[in-house]
Amino acid sequence: MNSTDHKYGALSHLRSVCGDAYGEQERLLERIIRKNSETEFGREHGFGEITGYNDYKKSVPVTSFADYEEYIARIIQGEHDMLTADPPVFYNISSGSTGFPKYFPLCAEDIAQQKMYFEDVPRDVITEALPGLSQEELFGCIFNSGDVFMTEMPDGTPNGVRSGAYPQLAFKEGKLDCSVFTAPKEVLFPAVPQNMMYVKIRFALANENITGIHGIFVHRTIIMLEFIRSNWAELVEDTEKGTVNPKFRISREWREYLAEHLPPAPERAAYLRTLSPDDLETGMLKKIWKKLKYIRVITGSTFADHTEKLKKYTEGIHIHSFVYGASEAVLGAVPYLDKSDEYVLTPDTCFFEFTDEDDPEHIVTMRDIEVGRRYGIIITTVSGLYRYDMGDIVEVVGKYGNAPAVKICYRRNMVLNLADEKLNTAQFESAMKDFAEKTGISATGCFVVGNHDHFPPRYELFIETDDEISDETPAVFDRCLCSNSVGYAGSRSLLEIGSPMISRLKPGTFRKYDEQLIREGLRTEQAKPLRIMTDGSKLKFFEKRKEETYYGKEISESR
């Protein structure tokens, strides 16, 4: 089904596989089972005797990451034919529920799928949606704001986040054209993981010819744009003089690099100085870069606040929310511009099964799902996950050919997701256990909520306790969160999440809350302990009962 004879080869491929989605799914499952029948997992689950989906469903139970930990540990140690016949070419790192990273081995076919749906399809979608413009006018000068670091496993196999898998491998193999990007390759692929935002912004501001902006998640893009607005005068002066203002905590290495590779640009700075931070509140991107045509960044309801901010900044240009991807696999594509939360599930990347939101035991395939209903997603991938429960809950909002178009609703067991950190209940409870041990603070009740009154957003811990809280306590809570969640620690180090707040509640608050639940007709034994607050009206109950709030000190930009 790899139809590439259309003018837009990758987009044509997507339309082809979606048009025959059910057949594509059946062939994909058959190929995965046949190819991996002699792996250890395949032999243990009788792949050789499986003749169709019904056999597969009987032979392989629904799985979670815990079912793969031993296999993956052995793969990392050098064993072969464990989950797939194909060897891993990349290890995707994702935060685990225990705070330790999870490693997902990805094979070459998986990376090819990523190139198709992260790069080729978006290019075709933009080209088709903006007719009459040349490839140079659309893609001739790209501001790539995403972070990609050249890290690797002990055996030299590259590792990192999903978004960096294809670029890392392509760059390593000399197959990535870096000439179209505003920043040099040393900036795009730093050897040591670090915050490169200021350096990338400097190269971008100096270039008036930018045609597109490529990011990953919208929250990181908003942080970048807010940084530009908040530091506009200093950034323009640095552009003019080729200097680095002392307020920016940039290492000597990168100060020297900028001095050598980015000369003063007084003419460009003269134009930028005609704009003020107030001018940039709306239509910011088109004002700074007049040739800009689009921004490619993942938006949607899971990033609702950031998405609304982005729409103000992007007046006059198009937004492509280009992909539905995860550590485990590429799950969906977006074949249109300016739709912020609708992803077409890709029938050739995963074999999909769906659990009813209200009845998780009821599992159906792509053929039987219904528009308007919500489902959990179970996937079988080319990289060796079999009937893997993603934990994502999606709503089917339509069809693209015969493939479902979905909106991402929420992730089961997730506590907070301010910046793609995906901190869940287990991580929060583990962090609170550490917090109690380190501080001696015992809580009658507590929960955490995302506070968007500050930028960047931060966690706010509501706690009822008789123990002393000081101005230093939020920093301890911060460290406990970092040590129990790789995702949170990463988002803090990149300044995507601010330092947490702790709000002490009046004595008896949780007792009064239970009394209110009873008055509302809910038996208190039915109510699970509060760990995350998602109900704004119920949050008001606790907001009214705050005694005092303690604010953590911000980390420096150099972290």
350-383 pLDDT, tens digit per residue, is: 999 999 987 888 999 999 999 999 999 999 999 9
Candidate from 140-149, 157-166, 304-313 with smallest mean pLDDT: 304-313
Distance CA 208, CA 133 (A): 18
Q: What is the pLDDT of residues 275-334, one digit of tens each?
A: 998 999 899 999 999 999 999 999 876 676 678 889 999 998 999 999 999 889 999 999
The packing angle between helices 232-241 and 197-205, to 10°, is 60
Distance CA 432, CA 99 (A): 13
Domain boundaries, the chain: 9-109+323-411, 134-292, 414-551
pLDDT for 309 equals 83
Q: What is the pLDDT of residues 395-438, one digit of tens each?
A: 999 999 999 999 988 777 666 888 888 787 668 878 988 999 99
Give the CA count within 13 Å in the CB-facing half-sphere of 295. 28
Per 3-state DSSP, the chain is made up of helix, strand and coil in percentages (nearest 5) of: 40, 20, 40
Q: What are the CA-CA distances from residue 50 to residues 80, 84, 447, 481 (Å)?
A: 22, 16, 47, 45
94: left (phi over 0), alpha (psi -120 to 50) or beta: beta
Domain 414-551 in this protein, CATH class: alpha beta
Backbone φ, ψ for residue 85 (5° rounding): -70, -30
Q: What is the pLDDT of residues 467-510, one digit of tens each?
A: 999 999 999 999 999 999 988 998 998 888 999 999 999 998 88
516: left (phi over 0), alpha (psi -120 to 50) or beta: alpha
Residue 149 pLDDT class (50, 70, 90 cuts) = confident
Residue 196 pLDDT class (50, 70, 90 cuts) = confident
Q: Give residues with Cβ within 8 angstroms of 148, minimum separation 6.
A: 160, 163, 164, 167, 168, 171, 188, 189
The letter for the amino acid at 403 is A
Distance CA 532, CA 7 (A): 49
DSSP class of residue 87? Answer: P
Both tokens of 496, joined, read 């995507």
Q: Strands 142-144, 212-217: parallel, antiparallel or unpaired by DSSP?
A: parallel
Q: State the chain's mean pLDDT as an integer.
A: 89
DSSP class of residue 287? Answer: H
Q: What is the pLDDT of residues 499-535, one digit of tens each?
A: 999 999 999 888 788 767 655 544 434 345 677 776 6
Which residues are 117's β-sheet partners? none
Write down the H helix ranges in 217-303: 218-230, 232-241, 252-261, 266-272, 284-288
- 142, 81, 523, 469: which is closest to 297 by C-alpha? 142
The model's pTM = 0.79
